[in-house]
Chain A
Amino acid sequence: MNIYTKELNKAYKKKLVLSDVKLSFSGVYGLLGPNGAGKTTLMKILAGLEPFQSGSVYLDDQLISTKSYVKKIDTIGYLAQDFMVYPDLTTYQVLEHIAVLQGIKVSVTAGMIKDVLEKVNLQEHEKKKMKELSGGMRRRVGIAQLLLRKPSVLMFDEPTAGLDIEERVRFRNLLKTLGKEHTVIISSHLVEDIEFLCNRIGVIKGGNVLFEGDPQALKKKANQKAYQLEVVPEELDEIIAKYEVIQLDDNGSHIAVRFLSDEPVGKEVTPRLIDGYLTLLKESRIHE
């Protein structure tokens, strides 16, 4: 299933936070943008949690928005960044209650909970209280509660923010698996996560859409702009002061410095997603 937004506008008081947003979400979609770009606001609008001033939202070809709200439909599931419910209840109790709140009969919840716990690999933690779970586990419970209602579209706001590296890897793999059966929309400012997971990307900044397309197209934005130099440690400060350094790779005697430059310097390298993203943000600053 695909979600489309048409000329979506949203303002807080008089400040425009989303301006004529036209995006088409499909596959595993990465919504990139700096902090305050409007990503969370857009996700909440799509989830029916926030109103908007004008525009429309479609699920496939069906209009799912009224004048100011996206209708709350079970097909779309949204997981907030800081998911936490009922801290003193166990994982099982939380899932059972959410199932019942969705109108599922108490007598059939056990089987469904077993299924979703298996999908998110939390079978061994069903008797643990929510407050005893790690951040990554809590987010997996968050996914489990979404899966109970069998949604077609899953939306995740900054899904790996604040997770340690092991949990982050595990969580990313879980999202990758979910992407096989669902349309997944991931909002993040972490380019690595988007690169790992997504086959389509949208970039927003200051409420405006800067880019929409596949990862290759975004990488191309940094064609002839990504370079690498081998420097000795003493030269490093000078390079950092002069260029927008993206990556350092210490080889012992030398450091390989990767950076963006409008002028050819050192060896030109194949652009990565982060190069394209940073180039795009830089261009947008020039146009401002």
Chain B
Amino acid sequence: MNKLKYHFQFDFQLIKGIYTIPFIGYLLTLVLMFISYPEGSNLPYIFLQGIAIPFAGLHLVFLYSSIYDEGATDTLLPYYSKNIAYDFLRYGIFHGLIILLLMILLIFAMGIGFFNFIMIIHLILLFVFYQLIGVSLLTLVKSLEIAIVIIAMYTVIEISTVILENYLPWPHLFIFEKAYYNISLFLTFFFLITGILLSIAQIVRTFK
């Protein structure tokens, strides 16, 4: 427990104000989720996918960007290799619990029927994907700014497709409408699983 407390305290000391960014994302999601929408609207789920879950993956990206500070890589990479599983686990559980809380709040507000089985599986996969993709991209481009911009651009364009009601033909990781068994759902799951596996491969390659 001492070790866990130490690590969270250190992380906060290291990135200071930036540490609060994921919580700002959660707050924004909370506000947007509970604005009044027409009955049957899928927007609360879009905000959970498009804001809360991407923000949940940012802590590790911010923290691991220290590796790519000038003069730090050769020193920190071997040390981080020893701790990466522990870091993913503690932040995965931490943010997983917050996302679960948001889901419970949605169920209270919208009723138990709001989430179906497919949506829950999709949320879990999307959560794992966003936990991994940031660090994976960071190890590829070796720049916090570029990694964040790539994630943000993809996520914003995905959400925009809903707002513009113009579904563009790239690999979609989000579910825009109530989930039904169809080819686009199959493709979404396929792309998510592929993204997760590729991210794991890149992370293992870097930190082995």
**Which positions in A face B, CB cutoff 8 Å?**
44, 47-49, 72, 78-80, 82-89, 93, 97-98, 100-103, 105-107, 142, 145
Give chain B residues whose Cβ lies under 8 Å from the Cβ of A100.
Answer: 3, 6-7, 10
CB distance from A285 to the nearest CB of B (A): 32
The answer to whether A86 touches B14, judged by C-beta atoms less than 8 angstroms apart, is yes
Separation of A89 and B75 alpha carbons in the complex (Å): 16
The answer to whether B2 touches A80, judged by C-beta atoms less than 8 angstroms apart, is no
Q: Is B145 on the interface with A (CB-CB < 8 A)?
A: no
Q: Which of B6, B13, B70, B76 contacts A82 (CB 8 A)?
A: B70
Q: 13 A-B Cβ contacts within 8 A?
A: A80-B75, A82-B70, A84-B69, A85-B72, A86-B66, A86-B72, A88-B14, A100-B6, A101-B79, A101-B82, A101-B83, A102-B82, A145-B75
Interface contact tally, CB-CB below 8 A: 61
Q: Is B74 on the interface with A (CB-CB < 8 A)?
A: yes
Give chain A residues whose Cβ lies under 8 Å from the Cβ of B73.
Answer: 80
Give chain A residues whose Cβ lies under 8 Å from the Cβ of B69.
Answer: 84-87
Separation of A131 and B70 alpha carbons in the complex (Å): 12
Interface size on B, residues (CB 8 A): 24
The answer to whether A85 touches B75, judged by C-beta atoms less than 8 angstroms apart, is yes
Separation of A37 and B82 alpha carbons in the complex (Å): 32
The answer to whether A84 touches B6, judged by C-beta atoms less than 8 angstroms apart, is no
The answer to whether A101 touches B74, judged by C-beta atoms less than 8 angstroms apart, is no
Separation of A275 and B132 alpha carbons in the complex (Å): 55
The answer to whether A84 touches B79, judged by C-beta atoms less than 8 angstroms apart, is no
Separation of A255 and B77 alpha carbons in the complex (Å): 52
The answer to whether A84 touches B74, judged by C-beta atoms less than 8 angstroms apart, is no
Q: Is B20 on the interface with A (CB-CB < 8 A)?
A: no
CB distance from B34 to the nearest CB of A (A): 38
Give chain B residues whose Cβ lies under 8 Å from the Cβ of A48.
Answer: 78
The answer to whether A49 touches B74, judged by C-beta atoms less than 8 angstroms apart, is yes
Q: Which of A102, A106, A142 contacts B6 (CB 8 A)?
A: A106
Q: Which of B3, B66, B70 contacts A106 (CB 8 A)?
A: B3
Separation of A79 and B66 alpha carbons in the complex (Å): 17
Give chain B residues whose Cβ lies under 8 Å from the Cβ of A78.
Answer: 74
Q: Is B71 on the interface with A (CB-CB < 8 A)?
A: yes
The answer to whether B78 touches A83, judged by C-beta atoms less than 8 angstroms apart, is no
In the complex formed, the residue of B with least CB distance to A138 is B71
Which B36-87 residues have a C-beta within 8 angstroms of A?
Answer: 66, 69-83
CB distance from A133 to the nearest CB of B (A): 12
Give chain B residues whose Cβ lies under 8 Å from the Cβ of A44.
Answer: 74
Separation of A43 and B12 alpha carbons in the complex (Å): 34
Q: A83-B71, A101-B83 are in contact. Are A49 and B3 (CB under 8 A)?
A: no
The answer to whether A142 touches B75, judged by C-beta atoms less than 8 angstroms apart, is yes
Separation of A89 and B69 alpha carbons in the complex (Å): 14
In the complex formed, the residue of B with least CB distance to A107 is B2
Give chain B residues whose Cβ lies under 8 Å from the Cβ of A93.
Answer: 10, 13
Give chain A residues whose Cβ lies under 8 Å from the Cβ of B71.
Answer: 80, 82-85
The answer to whether A85 touches B66, judged by C-beta atoms less than 8 angstroms apart, is yes
The answer to whether B74 touches A72, judged by C-beta atoms less than 8 angstroms apart, is no
Q: Which of A47, A87, A102, A103 contacts B74 (CB 8 A)?
A: A47
Separation of A98 and B79 alpha carbons in the complex (Å): 7
Q: Which of A79, A82, A97, A102 contacts B10 (CB 8 A)?
A: A97
Q: Which of B3, B14, B74, B77 has the most CB of A within 10 A?
A: B74
Q: Give the 9 A-B residue pairs with the shortest CB-CB distance, closest first.
A: A84-B71, A82-B71, A101-B79, A80-B74, A85-B72, A106-B6, A72-B78, A106-B2, A101-B83
Separation of A97 and B8 alpha carbons in the complex (Å): 12
Give chain B residues whose Cβ lies under 8 Å from the Cβ of A107.
Answer: 2
In the complex formed, the residue of B with least CB distance to A146 is B75
The answer to whether A89 touches B82, judged by C-beta atoms less than 8 angstroms apart, is no
CB distance from B170 to the nearest CB of A (A): 32
In the complex formed, the residue of A with least CB distance to B7 is A100
Give chain B residues whose Cβ lies under 8 Å from the Cβ of A145.
Answer: 75
Give chain B residues whose Cβ lies under 8 Å from the Cβ of A142.
Answer: 75
Which B1-45 residues have a C-beta within 8 angstroms of A?
Answer: 2-3, 6-7, 10, 13-14, 16
The answer to whether A49 touches B77, judged by C-beta atoms less than 8 angstroms apart, is yes
Give chain A residues whose Cβ lies under 8 Å from the Cβ of B6.
Answer: 100, 106
The answer to whether B78 touches A49, judged by C-beta atoms less than 8 angstroms apart, is yes
Give chain A residues whose Cβ lies under 8 Å from the Cβ of B14.
Answer: 86, 88-89
The answer to whether B66 touches A102, judged by C-beta atoms less than 8 angstroms apart, is no
Give chain A residues whose Cβ lies under 8 Å from the Cβ of B80.
Answer: 101
